[in-house]
Amino acid sequence: MDWSHYRFRSSWRLDAGPDAVYRVLERPDAYPDWWPQVRAVHRTSETTGLLRFRSALPYDLTVTARATRQDPRARVLEAALSGDLDGWVRWTLHPAPGGATHLLYEQDVTVRKPLMRRLALPCRPLFRANHAAMMRSCRRGLRAHLAATPHRV
């Protein structure tokens, strides 16, 4: 087993229509406005950007994200990641009853940051808990952002 390999999956219901949620998620340069652990996003091209994350643990992760799928009709956003994390991330949105959205977040990555690789076995539960906390913050921030957005449907 590669202790530096992680698969994450989060599923939420959001009280906004899928198109409104898609419009927020398709703009990663605005993630720091509502997702506190996304500390910086710098676009390097139309489909690529450099992102810096930091959660409760005392280190930053820096990745280059390159959009590999932007499908507003299917409501799927996917990006390839390289840098401190190598792999991919995907947002998939489906309509839910009452004009809401069912959001599925998936991530499959291998950690490349040297310190995290050295600590992969003993700190794996801590790294997973840190990611879970970051995703809870994402959910809270996204919900608040959508609630404050005038055109939610």
pLDDT of residue 152: 45
pLDDT in tens, 115-141: 999 999 999 999 999 999 999 999 999
Q: Domains (ranges, CATH) in the chain?
A: 5-148 (3.30.530.20)
- 27 CB burial (10 A radius; 0-12, 13-18, 19+): exposed
Residues 46, 151: Cα–Cα separation, whole Å? 25
Provide the pLDDT confidence category of residue 153 given band limits of 50, 70 and 90. very low
pLDDT in tens, 37-67: 999 999 999 999 999 999 999 999 999 999 9
